[in-house]
């Protein structure tokens, strides 16, 4: 039997939440309703019997992967089987990567601890990932792009599951999601000023309108003026009043996250279901290749075997 690329496939923690959507087939309220109807002393009416049968059918229905999970798995399949992956790049992601150390320094200052990037990669039989901070617990750091996104930042389902993956991998039960608001990069700020000059047709940046909007750009992208001066001592500010720093304690937002045994059981179950889907899809694609071109099929088999050999 041909070996599969997905027999031991591991879900990355960074996108783990994508396979864990649609976790409840039936709500807690509906489960209580089933109990009430089954334990009712009086005879059920025809409508009640119909309702009970429908709820039981929903409760006992076989587990199926939701559409959102399948969409994620199709992306996974293209990456692993065909080597095609969407390259996600934008200013929000760039800041998260470039400013990670600044955010860790902010968290270190607030907690009076020394945090540094944890570059160790973890894996078990189901998931893998590299948490940001492992220090008595697990902390996942997110660097917000601006004050607006920081103020609106909440504990999302995707980030909750990401931290739970890390907790499981590192052997902890409690962790944190930490949002930080730190200075943007000088490249980002200068790009915004450059775009503004073009939009105003003021390449020299001498108009009063440019000055006004450029000052606002600085206030929108610099949250710690002293840190900015230290990092970019030759920068020429547009603002004359530099009293617009935001206190460190107002630039960090954190959420506690807990890992329970049932969370681990659910992750294991979903990863197994995902593997079944990916293996089935792989088999279908190989059959299509074999029916079309024996040469193409053999090339793909060689690729699969070579890949499996590399990761074994």
Average pLDDT over residues 173-187: 97
pLDDT at 25 over 70: no
Query: In this structure, are strands 133-134 and 127-129 parallel, antiparallel, or unpaired?
Result: unpaired
pTM of the model: 0.85
Mean pLDDT over the full length of the chain: 92
Residue 308 has what pLDDT? 87
Mean pLDDT of the 64-83 span: 93
Give the pLDDT score at 23: 61
pLDDT for 151 equals: 97
The pLDDT assigned to 183 comes to 98
CA pair distance 70, 76, nearest whole angstrom: 10
Q: What is the mean pLDDT of residues 136-159?
A: 95
Contact between 218 and 239 under an 8 Å Cβ cutoff? The reply is: yes
pLDDT at residue 26 above 80? no
Is residue 45 scored above 80 in pLDDT?
yes
- Cβ(259)–Cβ(164) below 8 Å: yes
- HEC per residue, the chain: CCCCCCCCCCEEHHHHHHHCCCCCCCCHHHHHHHHHHHCCCCCCCHHHHHHHHHHHHHHHCCCCCCHHHHHHHHHHHHHHHHCCCCCCCCHHHHHHHHCHHHHHHHHHHHHCCCCCCCCCCEECCCEEECCCEECCCEEEEEECCCHHHHHHCCCCHHHHHHHHHHHHHHCCCEEEEEEECCCCCHHHHHHHHHHHHHHHCCCCCCCHHHHHHHHHHHHHHCCCHHHHHHHCCCCCCCCCCCCCCCCHHHHEEEEEEECCHHHHHHHHHHHHHHHHHHHHHHHHHHHHHHHHCHHHHHHHHHHHHHHHHHHC
Q: Is the pLDDT of residue 31 over 80?
A: no
Average pLDDT over residues 191-218: 96
Nearest alpha-carbon partner for 204 in 216, 218, 193, 188: 193
pLDDT score, position 56: 83
Whether pLDDT at 284 is above 70: yes
What average pLDDT does this structure show over 166-186? Answer: 97
Mean pLDDT for 283-309 is 91
Band (24; pLDDT cuts 50, 70, 90): low
pLDDT at residue 61 above 80? no
Residue ranges of domains in the chain, CATH in brackets: 22-62 (no CATH), 68-89+264-312 (no CATH), 99-181+250-259 (3.90.320.10), 186-245 (no CATH)
Residue 224 backbone phi and psi in degrees, to 5:
-140, 95
Query: Which residue would you say has higher pLDDT here, 147 or 87?
Result: 147
């Amino acid at each position: 039997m041909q070996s599969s690329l997905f027999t031991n496939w591991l879900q990355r923690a960074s996108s783990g939440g994508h396979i864990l959507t649609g976790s409840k087939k039936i709500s807690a309220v509906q489960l209580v309703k089933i109990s009430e109807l089954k334990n009712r002393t009086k005879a059920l009416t025809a409508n009640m019997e119909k309702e009970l049968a429908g709820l039981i059918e929903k409760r006992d229905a076989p587990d199926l992967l939701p559409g959102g999970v399948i969409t994620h798995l199709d992306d996974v399949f293209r990456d692993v089987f065909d080597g095609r992956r969407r390259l996600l790049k934008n200013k929000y992601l760039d800041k998260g990567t470039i400013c990670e150390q600044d955010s860790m320094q902010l968290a270190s200052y607030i907690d009076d601890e020394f945090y540094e990037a944890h570059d160790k990669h973890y894996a078990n039989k189901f998931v893998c990932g590299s948490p940001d901070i492992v220090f008595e617990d697990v902390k996942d750091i997110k660097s917000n792009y601006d004050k607006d996104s920081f103020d609106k930042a909440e504990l999302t389902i995707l980030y909750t599951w990401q931290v739970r993956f890390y907790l499981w991998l590192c052997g902890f039960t409690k962790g944190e999601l930490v949002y930080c608001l730190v200075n943007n990069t000088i490249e980002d700020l200068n790009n915004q000023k450059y775009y503004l000059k073009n939009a105003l047709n003021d390449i020299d940046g001498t108009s009063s309108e440019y000055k006004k909007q450029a000052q606002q750009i600085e206030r929108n992208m610099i949250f710690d003026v002293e840190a900015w001066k230290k990092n970019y001592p030759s920068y020429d500010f547009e603002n004359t009043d530099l009293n617009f720093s935001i206190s460190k304690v107002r630039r960090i937002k954190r959420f506690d996250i807990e890992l329970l045994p049932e969370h681990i059981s659910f992750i294991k179950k979903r990863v197994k279901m995902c593997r079944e889907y990916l293996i089935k899809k792989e088999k279908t694609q190989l059959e299509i290749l074999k029916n079309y071109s024996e040469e193409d099929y053999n090339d793909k088999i060689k690729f699969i075997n070579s890949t499996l050999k590399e990761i074994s």
